[in-house]
Amino acid sequence: MKAAQFAYHRPGTVAEATQMLAEFGDEAKILAGGQSLVPMLAMRLTYFENLIDISRVDELKNIELRGDELIVAAGTPHAFVGMDDEVADSVPLLTLATPHIGHFQIRTRGTLGGAIAHGDPAAEYAAAALALDATIEATSQRGRRDIPAAEFFTGLWETSLAADEILTAVRFPVWGGRSGFAVEEFARRHGDFAIAGATVAVELDDDDRVARCGIGLLGLGSTPLRGSAAEEAVVGQNVGAVTAEEVGRLAIGGLTDIPSDLQGSADYRSRVGAAMVTRAWTAAIRQAQTSETEAIHA
């Protein structure tokens, strides 16, 4: 199929793009990398009278470490995020998540901001943003506002962005100390959307207690989710008293709208999701426990 007819606009700045959004309102859609939107338009799953292409807005392509936050501009391609040394040093969960996103060609064109704004429940960067308590920057003619990742995803392919707002950047907290990170997901083939997956970030104190924990879940609801029950259960606990299997069970246990489709039943996804959390937790804990030793010998 081919997309229905639309008007194409290519602003050169964020200000121009927000002006267009204010003018066209609900009849407009932002086009970033186009790796999700274009196929949906081609299959006529969605339609907009105006497409505003921000792919050549240079101010939306940047990665900057500012204090205890890594700021990734929305138009930064996945491939740039995945190969950036500053990202790997300060927010390694993004580096780990990047290879799971589609194929190389998709990672070259797709953007971090576009992936998060699309709000797909199986999106790796969205799950990472949730696990790390990232902040989404939204810009309009009315100014800029900050949206906590926990409040950003509202439904299937829906977010709390207003019709006149552009996602311009995502701010990721930098976790220090004895921290570990891991991403695990299961898909039928490499590059497919995950049937279920997990992003895990964990920080240990000097006594091996869990000081901080974030668990993001993929493919287990109508939005990206957090494994809140598991997070609450492990914080303050000695890591030796916490089994990885229990973390996996708790992360999935409170979910009520796990999808059932041709890829698998809700029960199947639940079991796969628990297994992915278990694996990611194990890897993240191992990294957190070895990070101090590596620092001493560096």
Are 44 and 148 members of one domain?
no
Q: Is residue 2 part of a domain?
A: no
Are 197 and 286 members of one domain?
yes
Q: Mind listing the pLDDT tens digit for each residue in 98-132?
A: 999 998 888 999 999 999 999 999 999 999 999 99
- Boundary residue ending a domain (150, 173, 196): 173
Beta strands in the chain (DSSP E): 7-9, 28-31, 50-53, 63-66, 69-73, 135-140, 143-148, 153-155, 158-159, 166-173, 178-186, 196-204, 210-218, 225-226
Are 249 and 206 members of one domain?
yes
Q: Is residue 103 part of a domain?
A: yes
Are 34 and 80 members of one domain?
no
Q: Is residue 1 part of a domain?
A: no
Q: Mind listing the pLDDT tens digit for each residue in 226-275?
A: 999 999 999 999 999 999 999 999 999 989 899 999 888 999 999 999 99
Q: What residue numbers bound the domain in which 36 lies?
A: 7-53
Are 239 and 290 members of one domain?
yes
Q: Is residue 138 part of a domain?
A: yes
Quick check: pTM over 0.75?
yes
Count of domains observed in the chain: 3
Q: Is residue 199 part of a domain?
A: yes
Are 73 and 124 members of one domain?
yes
